[in-house]
């Protein structure tokens, strides 16, 4: 495969885009790949359903953050101004159950887990959202929206005096269109007891107070003290931060029904245009089952790092498959991905030494993927892959082909500054540039830092042996490192080591 020369995206402008080729995204609502045309030229509004923070995040949750981080970076690269909203559900049945079980305030459980989530996102290089609203911080907006739905005849207070308020599913003819279901085939909604419902499929907008739940988990409302249902919070926060209509709504495939179906129903029943595109990512399975906190089959970032896999390698593992595909987790696949990233990283490090720091720094975009000189000089095949529904497997294949070309050039003593800049520009768009301070700064306690230190100690011993012409001792050090999976290469700049494939 011959890499395309760098071509300025500014020179290839397309209608609706500040720069470059049209992005196409798979839209769940239309069940097709569609040209992405923003509601407002040059601006994109994205809402991603965040986590319910009843416990800390696992890597299945983090796939969501990484995948939409790549979408956001690509839009930034393409010249858009992006408003990115990722909510936190900090009140929910499961959170309240834990509060009762542990004898702790519900908000302390939610906040502790929110901090863990933020730490995990930062570890994987996920850019912070423009806004990260909490459900409990938007009770007025939620009450206002519920009132509008009642006035329009799409919602009703329960007649049993419980304080519950329900959405009338049969009042909205398009209910089921997003998930492709027929109302008559649906089961009863399980998000609230059936008390006071007109139809078992109706879902809760407002949940009246219950004696067995924490007393501080409720707010005054026109229908009595209560708390928001799960679905209404997102509709209210979308309108608050992105307006009545916005571009992209994201989340996992497991949210299509009932969560997103209910969101679109209540928002459009209130007269809002709501999301123009629905972008859903595939799930991450552990064995035969979806990775789930309720099933207890979870892995978090710390568990992965304990395996000797760095956060940047985990990010590579999570974004290397297509975002709509299912990932069947295995430790072998994780280690294979880590080795793949290390091959790319090794080239960047070697080429940086050969090109010099000044040459290596040219044409590289910022960590945020902002459009600019470097971001406008990507290989055509990489750009086409990313514009093709964020085809990261093909984009990464372009990176590896460039690395193979670069390694061959290094072996032949040829100049590699241009190839290096090309590779780093592609990696920066994906948030994977090894020389980004996010990844290049050593972090105390990282297993990789410990390994680095031990290998460097062995290499110093080898260098001392070579200085005193003790070739047998020097060869012994090299052979022991090779036996441990560390390949040593002598270069004009000194010895360089890398991990052998398969390690």
User: Could you report the per-residue pLDDT of 196-207, keeping only the tens digit for each?
Assistant: 899 999 999 999
Residue with tokens 């991990």: 499
Residue 188, CA distances (Å) to 201, 234, 327, 481 in order = 4, 22, 31, 62
pLDDT at 92 over 50: yes
**Ranges 7-16, 109-118, 349-358: which has the least confidence:** 7-16
3-state secondary structure of 259: helix
pLDDT recorded at residue 5: 40
Dist. CA 26–CA 298, nearest whole Å: 28
- Number of structural domains the chain divides into: 1
pLDDT recorded at residue 352: 92
Which residues lie across from 497 on neighbouring strands? 488
pLDDT recorded at residue 69: 98
pLDDT band at 487 (very low <50, low <70, confident <90, very high): confident
Sign of the Cα torsion 462, 464, 469, 472 reads negative
As separate numbers, helices (DSSP H) first and strands (DSSP E) second, the chain gives: 15, 15
Assigned domain for 392 exists: no
Assigned domain for 390 exists: no
pLDDT recorded at residue 261: 97
Assigned domain for 488 exists: yes
C-alpha closest to that of 420 among 477, 499, 362: 362
pLDDT at 61 over 50: yes
pLDDT recorded at residue 464: 77
Assigned domain for 236 exists: no
pLDDT band at 291 (very low <50, low <70, confident <90, very high): low
pLDDT recorded at residue 469: 80
Total Cβ atoms within 10 A of residue 142: 25
Report percent pLDDT > 90 for the chain: 68
Sign of the Cα torsion 467, 469, 470, 476 reads positive
pLDDT band at 12 (very low <50, low <70, confident <90, very high): very low
Question: What angle do the packed helices 380-387 and 417-430 form, to 10 degrees?
Answer: 10
pLDDT tens track for 152-190: 999 999 988 889 999 999 999 999 999 999 998 898 888
Which residues, in sequence order, are CB contacts of 439 under 8 Å at separation 6+? 125, 310, 312, 432, 433
H or E segment and range at residue 230: helix 230-242
Assigned domain for 477 exists: yes
pLDDT band at 246 (very low <50, low <70, confident <90, very high): very high
Which residues lie across from 328 on neighbouring strands? 285
457-465 LR contacts (CB < 8 Å, sep 24+): 459/488, 459/495, 459/497, 462/488, 462/495, 463/494, 463/495
pLDDT band at 294 (very low <50, low <70, confident <90, very high): low
Q: What predicted TM-score, i.e. pTM, was given to this entire model?
A: 0.83
Assigned domain for 284 exists: no
pLDDT recorded at residue 1: 38
pLDDT tens track for 362-420: 545 554 544 443 555 799 999 999 999 999 999 999 999 999 999 999 989 899 999 99
* Structural domain for 470, as ranges: 443-503
Angle subtended at Cα 137 by Cα 238 and Cα 168, rounded to the nearest 5 degrees:
55
Residue with tokens 């249902």: 229
**Ranges 92-106, 306-320, 437-451, 457-471: which has the least confidence:** 437-451
Assigned domain for 496 exists: yes
What is the overall mean pLDDT for the chain? 86
Q: Calculate mean pLDDT across residues 86-92.
A: 96
Question: Would you state the structure tokens that stand for residue 324, as one six-digit string?
Answer: 């709509």
pLDDT recorded at residue 229: 93
Q: What is the DSSP letter of 194?
A: -
466 compared with 200, residue with greater pLDDT: 200
Pairing of strands 494-499, 486-491: antiparallel
Dist. CA 73–CA 65, nearest whole Å: 12
Reply yes or no: is the peptide bond before residue 258 cis, omega within 30 of 0: yes
Q: Calculate mean pLDDT across residues 254-271.
A: 97
Region for 175 from its dihedrals, namely left if φ exceeds 0, alpha if ψ lies in -120 to 50, beta otherwise: beta
Assigned domain for 151 exists: no
pLDDT at 225 over 60: yes
């Amino acid at each position: 495969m011959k890499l395309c020369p760098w071509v300025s995206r500014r020179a290839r402008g397309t209608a609706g885009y500040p720069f470059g080729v049209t992005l196409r995204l798979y839209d769940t609502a239309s069940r097709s790949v569609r040209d992405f045309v923003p509601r407002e030229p040059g601006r994109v509004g994205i809402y991603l359903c965040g986590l319910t923070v009843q416990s800390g995040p696992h890597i299945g949750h983090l796939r969501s953050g990484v995948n939409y981080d790549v979408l956001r970076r690509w839009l930034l690269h393409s010249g858009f101004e992006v408003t990115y909203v990722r909510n936190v559900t900090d009140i929910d049945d499961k959170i309240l159950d834990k509060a009762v079980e542990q004898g702790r305030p519900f908000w302390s459980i939610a906040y502790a887990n929110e901090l863990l989530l933020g730490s995990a996102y930062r570890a994987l290089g996920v850019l912070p959202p423009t806004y990260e609203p909490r459900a409990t911080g938007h009770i007025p907006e939620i009450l206002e929206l519920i009132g509008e739905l009642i006035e329009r005849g799409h919602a009703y207070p329960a007649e049993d005096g419980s304080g519950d308020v329900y959405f009338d599913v049969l009042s909205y003819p398009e209910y089921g269109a997003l998930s492709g279901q027929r109302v008559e085939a649906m089961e009863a909604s399980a998000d609230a007891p059936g008390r006071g419902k007109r139809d078992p499929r109706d879902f809760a907008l407002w949940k009246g107070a219950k004696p067995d739940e924490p007393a501080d988990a409720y707010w005054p409302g026109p229908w009595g003290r209560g708390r928001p249902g799960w679905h209404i919070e997102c509709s209210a926060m979308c309108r608050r931060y992105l307006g009545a209509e916005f571009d992209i709504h994201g989340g996992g495939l497991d949210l299509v029904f009932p969560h997103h179906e209910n969101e679109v129903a209540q928002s459009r029943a209130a007269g809002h245009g709501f999301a123009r595109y629905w972008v859903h990512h595939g799930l991450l399975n552990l064995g035969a089952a979806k990775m789930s906190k309720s099933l207890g089959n979870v892995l978090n970032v710390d568990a992965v790092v304990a395996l000797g896999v760095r956060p940047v390698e985990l990010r590579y593992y999570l974004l290397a498959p297509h975002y709509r595909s299912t990932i069947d987790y295995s430790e072998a696949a994780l280690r294979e991905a880590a080795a793949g990233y290390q091959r790319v990283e090794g080239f960047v490090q070697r080429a940086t030494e050969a090109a010099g720091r000044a040459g290596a720094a040219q044409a590289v975009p910022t960590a945020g993927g902002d459009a600019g000189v470097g971001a406008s000089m990507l290989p055509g095949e990489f750009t086409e892959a990313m514009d093709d529904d964020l085809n990261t497997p093909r984009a990464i294949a372009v990176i590896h082909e460039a690395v193979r070309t670069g390694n061959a050039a290094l072996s032949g003593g040829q100049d590699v500054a241009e190839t290096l800049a090309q590779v780093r520009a592609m990696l920066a768009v994906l948030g994977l540039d090894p020389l980004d301070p996010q990844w290049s700064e050593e972090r105390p306690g990282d297993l990789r830092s410990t390994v680095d230190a031990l290998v460097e100690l062995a290499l110093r011993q080898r260098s001392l042996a070579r200085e005193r012409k003790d070739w047998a001792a020097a060869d012994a050090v090299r052979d022991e490192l090779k036996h441990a999976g560390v390949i040593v290469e002598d270069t004009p700049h000194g010895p360089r080591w890398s991990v052998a494939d398969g390690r």
